[in-house]
Amino acid sequence: MKAGVRALGVAESYREHTSTLAGAVVRADRVADGFALTTCTVGGTDATRAVASLFDRLDRQDVRYLLVAGIAPAWFNILDLHALGSAVDRPIVSVTFEPSDGLADPIRDAFGDEAAQRRLATYRAQPDRHAVSVNGETVFVRSVGLDDDETAEVVRAFTPEGGRPEPLRVARLVARAVDGFRADG
């Protein structure tokens, strides 16, 4: 992949009722060249809209991929990757870093019937998760708009070392810094 190809990474940090979502535009050669912030509700259903708004706020037509850290930010505020892909007209890659038996049981345990069913319907409509080996580590990905080989190529191209793609690493650092600033202020 060419060094100047850009991805928007979105990661979160949360305290109490609000989750800070940070978006970081990072080139494949590790140069960060854009940031945006928004919030979504912890335990809510607004994460998909919030991530799409980050993309819109940046107004960066040069961003080729959207990478999100996980599928359930802000305590099961489930991302609809298909709707997000339609909203931003870019391939979407969700990356997680731990093996998991899935979120169905934790969602049922955390919410009442109607709220759980709404989240489960969104969750079950998402692409299957599969493992990708990168730099000797394993990450787990779901994608919309890319096949499995293309997804692995994108994840590896944006992960120069370790197992966390650089756009997600930088976005997570920004989100945590903003949350720390808010907590101190």
pTM confidence score: 0.97
Residue 131 lies in a domain: yes
Query: Number of structural domains, the chain?
Result: 1
Whole-angstrom Cα distance, residue 119 to residue 79? 9
Crossing angle of helices 47-58 and 81-88, in 10° steps, is 20
Q: Is the pLDDT of residue 185 over 80?
A: no
Report the pLDDT averaged over residues 135-154.
98
Residue 183 lies in a domain: no
Of all helices (H) and strands (E), which one includes residue 14? Answer: strand 6-15
* pLDDT recorded at residue 182: 84
pLDDT digits (tens, 9 = 90+) for 114-137: 999 999 999 999 999 999 999 999
Whole-angstrom Cα distance, residue 162 to residue 63? 23
Length of the chain in residues, anyone?
Answer: 185
Residue 174 lies in a domain: yes
pLDDT digits (tens, 9 = 90+) for 51-94: 999 999 999 999 999 999 999 999 999 999 999 999 999 999 99
User: Residue 8 in contact with residue 61, Cβ under 8 Å?
Assistant: no
Residue 169 lies in a domain: yes
Report the pLDDT averaged over residues 163-180.
96
113: CATH:
3.30.2170.10
pLDDT tier, 16 (very low <50, low <70, confident <90, very high otherwise):
confident
Residue 184 lies in a domain: no
* pLDDT recorded at residue 18: 87
Fill in the amino acid letter for 129.
Answer: R
CA nearest to 165, candidates 84, 79, 66, 61: 66
Residue 137 lies in domain = 6-178
Residue 13 lies in a domain: yes
Report the pLDDT averaged over residues 157-171.
97
- Residue 97 burial (CB < 10 Å; 0-12/13-18/19+)? middle
